[in-house]
Chain A
Amino acid sequence: MSLNDIFPETVPTGYYLVFAALLFCIGLFGLVSRRNAIGMLLSIELMMNAVNVNLAAFSRSGLEVGQIQGQLLVVFTVTVAVAEAAVGLAIIVAMFKLRKTVNADELNLLRG
């Protein structure tokens, strides 16, 4: 029993796009407003997810058999996001060891 049997009609793709946009903006807000560095990374994850949803939504609009490039792209973006999260966390941990803080405000050695 496939999903198509359960749900004969579906939501317009536009809804997904609006949703993704909202999620992205929330993540953006969090990126700038969160003090904690890990909090910032969490916000970044939100943004990445919004992008994935967006891609998948476009992939599905006009979906024919074999037209799955959008979803494929999502696979790759997930890969990249994961790698980036790992490295980012490693950096945060290292910084913590150095400066004993995770407040991004205080990590301003590059101030000119």
Chain B
Amino acid sequence: METLVFFGLAVPILVLAVVVVTTPHILRAVVSLFLTLVGVAGLFFLMRAPILGVMQLMIYAGGVVVLFAFAVMLVRRVTGEFVRQQTGLAGPALVVGLLFFVVLMGIGSGYLAGLEDEAAAAGSVHPVSRDLAERLVLTDVPEEIDPVEDFSPVMIRDYVIPFEIASILLLVAMIGAVLIGHPLEQKHPGGEIEPEEPAEEGEEA
């Protein structure tokens, strides 16, 4: 039964993801991304990771997408003509993407191969962890976790340093974003340094 739910979530997510990457309409892409993120949040819940699910919904779907929407609005062209949305590298990109998937699957199958055949596992190129391979195929239900009791102490106690660094990172990102978005005509203190005038006249594509 869970399988059904899983596929019911996974397939739409993938379809929506394809929409994100192919549609010429940028707004359509943003909305599709939103839906994709929601779907992934659902997957998180299915994976017995409610914290992640909630976080995904709040931050990603709720915050990042809004951010994207704002940005899209800010950079909208007035003309509205449709330029070709694909770069010339689309072909190679497809190829590389497929290859990538193949390779990743190759890794996975290697593990699985090792599980079935001990001899093959011993002689294979990459180290096979039988334990890991077993775990990839079992269908036992994982334990439910209590968000507060299980999650928070680990984060605050054992991983407090990355936690703090993450907060600093966010601070830095904030400052950076503000600086980057600052208007260009700002006069520097104590200097007649001319800011670079954007060469707007002859550079239109």
Q: Do A's and B's CB atoms come within 8 Å in the complex?
A: yes
A90 and B181 contacting across the interface, CB-CB below 8 Å: yes
A93 and B74 contacting across the interface, CB-CB below 8 Å: yes
Q: Which residue of A lies closest to B23 (CB)?
A: A39
A76 to B116: give the CA distance in the assembly, Å.
36
A97 and B198 contacting across the interface, CB-CB below 8 Å: yes
Contacts of B203 in A (CB 8 A): 99-100
A11 and B3 contacting across the interface, CB-CB below 8 Å: yes
Contact of B170 among A11, A45, A83 (CB under 8 A): A83
Instruction: Given A14-B108, A36-B85, A93-B74, verify A29-B94 contact (CB < 8 Å).
Output: yes
Contacts of B71 in A (CB 8 A): 38, 89, 92-93
A24 to B55: give the CA distance in the assembly, Å.
20
Contact of A23 among B13, B144, B145, B178 (CB under 8 A): B13
A87 to B176: give the CA distance in the assembly, Å.
7
Q: How big is the B interface, by class?
A: 35 or more
* Residue B193 interfacial (CB < 8 Å): no
A52 and B40 contacting across the interface, CB-CB below 8 Å: yes
A62 to B140: give the CA distance in the assembly, Å.
8
Say how far B150's CB is from chain A's closest CB, in angstroms. Answer: 6
Contact of B97 among A26, A75, A92 (CB under 8 A): A26
Interface of chain B, main secondary structure:
helix
B150 and A12 contacting across the interface, CB-CB below 8 Å: no
Contacts of A106 in B (CB 8 A): 205
B166 and A76 contacting across the interface, CB-CB below 8 Å: yes
Interface-central residue, A22, A26, A62, by most chain B CB under 10 Å: A26
A86 and B142 contacting across the interface, CB-CB below 8 Å: no
Number of interface residues of A (CB under 8 A): 86
Instruction: Given A7-B5, A17-B108, A49-B60, verify A75-B48 contact (CB < 8 Å).
Output: no
Interface of chain A, main secondary structure:
helix
Say how far B156's CB is from chain A's closest CB, in angstroms. Answer: 11
A42 and B29 contacting across the interface, CB-CB below 8 Å: yes
B83 and A35 contacting across the interface, CB-CB below 8 Å: yes
Q: Which residue of B lies closest to A57 (CB)?
A: B47
B154 and A68 contacting across the interface, CB-CB below 8 Å: yes
* Residue B10 interfacial (CB < 8 Å): yes
Chain B proximity mask over A23-55: 1 for CB below 8 Å, otherwise 0 = 111111111111110110111011001001100
A11 and B2 contacting across the interface, CB-CB below 8 Å: yes
A68 to B46: give the CA distance in the assembly, Å.
15
B169 and A66 contacting across the interface, CB-CB below 8 Å: no
User: Could you tell me which residues of chain B, from 139 to 192, have a CB within 8 Å of some CB in chain A?
Assistant: 139-145, 150-151, 154-155, 159, 162, 166, 169-170, 172-174, 176-178, 180-181, 184
* Residue B52 interfacial (CB < 8 Å): yes
B159 and A72 contacting across the interface, CB-CB below 8 Å: yes
Say how far B76's CB is from chain A's closest CB, in angstroms. Answer: 9
A69 to B153: give the CA distance in the assembly, Å.
12
Contact of A90 among B26, B48, B172, B180 (CB under 8 A): B180
Say how far A26's CB is from chain B's closest CB, in angstroms. Answer: 5
A79 and B198 contacting across the interface, CB-CB below 8 Å: no
